[in-house]
Amino acid sequence: MKKSFTSSPASHKGKRRDGHARNVWSLGFASFFNDVGSEMIVPLLPFYITALGGSGVAIGLASGLREGLSSLFKIFGGWLSDRTGKRKAFIFLGYFLSTIFKFFIGFASAWQSVIAFVSLERLGKFRDAPRDAVISYSKKVTGRNFGIVQMLDVVGGILGTLLVLLLFWKLNFEIKKIIFIAAGISILSLLPLFFVREPRLKAIKRSLYRSLHDLNPRLKYFILVSSVFAFANFGLYMFMILIAQKATNNFVTPIFFYILFNIAYAVFLIPFGSLSDKIGRKSILFVGYLLFLIVALGFVYYSNIFHIAILFALYGIVYALTYSSQRALVSDLSKEMKGTAFGTFHTATGFAGILGGLTAGILWDFNPKVMFMYLSFVAFVSLILLCFVKDGWRR
């Protein structure tokens, strides 16, 4: 008999809790192996693109499309998982596609091809909405559970970045060879998914239009706010890596700074996720948005490499503050159509990321400091909008 757990109230409370924990850790380790592979590629992308003739616009486009284009399809992954009552199949397919397109990145011979394959690799991210829906079923520790999964994801990223340092700068492996190794490691992400228990859900036969129409108005407003924030926070670390490279005139130090960013991110994910379960999501998000504004201004006024290192660490804390809290708040404000709710959130913020990355790339080519001033202004606007979010949280 197929094992599953139900998300509705039942007498098997202990078994349900065990099912939640098992799913959280299984999904976390799937994310861990996938991110080892992904983060072996990410630090090399700015150098890979520029080596093939790409400019700042190309890097900004790659940064925005990497997170953004995939998100345009996440709404369908979430909605279909609600409509079919199945989550696991969409999660598995998403990880499988990401692995396949990692191999294609290694075959690229022009910067346009790199951008195309990086974007297609992220199409597998349509798994995120059904995955987040599975994580969100344990309501009392929603923020903590999101923190656990993302913490494993980030630890995988740190390991991947360390492997890049070993293979590229110590052993002198070519970039393409590293990419193929990364794709091979990502295959391991499929194994933990066999331990995920399919939630017992009732299929909700609604059209996409009806599903979107029925979303909580408070949720719709929060998605608007988070999209404005995503217009500034679109994957800024790619530009940060370039700034560190110019300041140090080498390629190794920026990668260490990127590791510092990920360490700060990983260390604070679970504490801030748990804190949002205790004091509410909005307070944590306000601090995160405010800290992003400070980081953006910091890159306008930094004066030495020590300041850049601090800004990388602070940016990791920004991610830790906002990642779990935003997703937990989406869960709090969604009803039975959690897949559609998460899909809408990912799609809206992803589209904002595409536009934000492209806009930032254009400003970067004009003047990097102008770009960071612009990002700080967008962050300020998102802070004002956040003040009017009604999260409905109760202690």
- Determine, yes or no, domain membership for 246: yes
Within-domain flag for 239:
yes
Alpha helix positions (H), 4-87: 13-41, 45-51, 56-71, 74-84
CATH number, residue 104: 1.20.1250.20
**pLDDT at res. 393:** 52
Q: What pLDDT, in 10s, does the model give residues 133-155?
A: 888 876 566 778 888 888 898 89
- pLDDT reading at 389 higher than 70: yes
Tell me whether residue 10 is in a domain: no
Tally the C-alpha atoms within 13 A of residue 128's C-alpha that lie toward its C-beta. Answer: 29
What per-residue confidence (pLDDT) applies to 216?
85
61: in domain? yes
The answer to whether residue 354 is domain-embedded is: yes
pLDDT tens readout for residues 331-370:
888 877 788 888 899 889 888 888 888 888 889 888 989 9
Statement: residue 1 has pLDDT above 80: no
More confident residue, 388 or 358: 388
Average pLDDT rounded to a whole number, residues 226-254: 85
Confidence of residue 13 (pLDDT cuts 50, 70, 90): very low
Q: Would residue 332 count as lying in a domain?
A: yes
pLDDT grade, residue 203 (50/70/90)?
Answer: low
Residue 295 confidence (pLDDT): 94
Q: Which long-range contacts link 332-336 to residues 24+ away (Cβ below 8 Å)?
A: 332/142, 332/281, 332/391, 332/392, 332/393, 333/216, 333/218, 333/219, 333/222, 333/391, 333/392, 334/136, 334/215, 334/216, 334/219, 335/214, 335/216, 336/82, 336/204
Q: Kindly report, residue by residue over 165-185, the tens digit of the pLDDT.
A: 888 877 888 888 898 999 999
314 belongs to a structural domain: yes
| 299, part of any domain | yes
What is the total count of domains within the chain? 1
Share of the chain above pLDDT 90, in %: 29
pLDDT tens readout for residues 107-120 = 888 888 888 888 88
pLDDT exceeds cutoff 90 at 9? no
Question: What are 33-57's pLDDT values in tens digits?
Answer: 999 998 888 878 877 888 887 777 7
Provide the residue range defining the domain that includes 246: 15-193+208-386
CA dist 368 and 189 (Å) reads 37
